[in-house]
Copies of this chain bind each other. A is one copy, B any other.
Amino acid sequence: MTTLPKAIILLSGGLDSATCLAIARHEGFEPVALSFDYGQRHNAELVASRRVAEAFAVRDHRVLRLELGTMGGSALTDSSIDIPTEASEGIPVTYVPARNTVFLSFALGLAEVVGADAIFIGVNSVDYSGYPDCRPEFIDAFETMANLATKAGVEGHHMKIHTPLMHLTKAEIVQTGMALGVDYALTVSCYQADSEGSACGVCDSCRLRRKGFEDAGVPDPTRYQAA
């Protein structure tokens, strides 16, 4: 029996990270999934991440509790800030300060502990929300830093940050995932899903997702909240 190389997959339970997991499997990695409980408004995302991990037979799925919420500063973790229902200019209020930096840092630590040389993150610079930490130049800089931060770097391994969705449209992400067997009904993308995981249909994330299915010519399996 061959041992597959391990990869850490940052798994939020949304459309993008589920597709990332499918791609990592397809590329021959043994996935170690990492999710965060960071004071999101609901835990539908975490429930979705467990369903998605199960669907891809992930044997090691870790959920870390963080206190991002106590830092404030984002509509995603601070209930005093309203979630916008229209696209806005610049960096939106749903931006969580340094979120991808924090998530990738934990992924880096876990990679070192389990002996993985690969980290997958579903960031995207096409149909994206305008977050600075989704850009390719950020990822490149993180990878450079990661290789100086760790034993791996010192001992001559190379830690690679994989961003297979970076240059895909949402429609292409959906088509890629469908081809690899992702059941998008299991995923939750909405910023304000209810406790059953039904989506609002109006937040930025819902609108990007809905358009993705439309453009891909695929029926949208998302459960929406009753109006």
Contacts and interface: CB of A to CB of B under 8 A. Distances in A.
Interface of A: 62, 64-68, 70-73, 91, 95-102, 104-106, 108-110, 112-113, 132-133, 135, 137-138, 141-142, 144-146, 148-151, 153-154
Given A132-B148, A132-B149, A145-B144, A65 B68 contact: no
A101 B109 contact: yes
Contacts of A110: 71, 97
B148 A135 contact: yes
A106 to B, nearest CB: 6
Contacts of A135: 148
A102 B106 contact: yes
A96 B150 CA distance: 10
Contacts of A154: 91, 132
B105 A102 contact: yes
Given A68-B109, A102-B105, A108-B101, A148 B153 contact: no
A117 to B, nearest CB: 14
A145 B149 CA distance: 12
Nearest to A113: B73
A154 B95 CA distance: 13
A101 B149 contact: yes
Nearest to A106: B102
10 contacts: A91-B154, A97-B150, A98-B108, A101-B109, A102-B106, A105-B105, A132-B153, A138-B145, A141-B148, A141-B149
Given A66-B66, A70-B62, A113 B141 contact: no
A144 B142 CA distance: 9
Contacts of A101: 105, 108-109, 145-146, 149-150
Contacts of A146: 101
Contacts of A148: 132-133, 135, 137-138, 141
Nearest to A65: B67
B71 A97 contact: no
Contact of A109 (B99, B109, B151, B153): B99
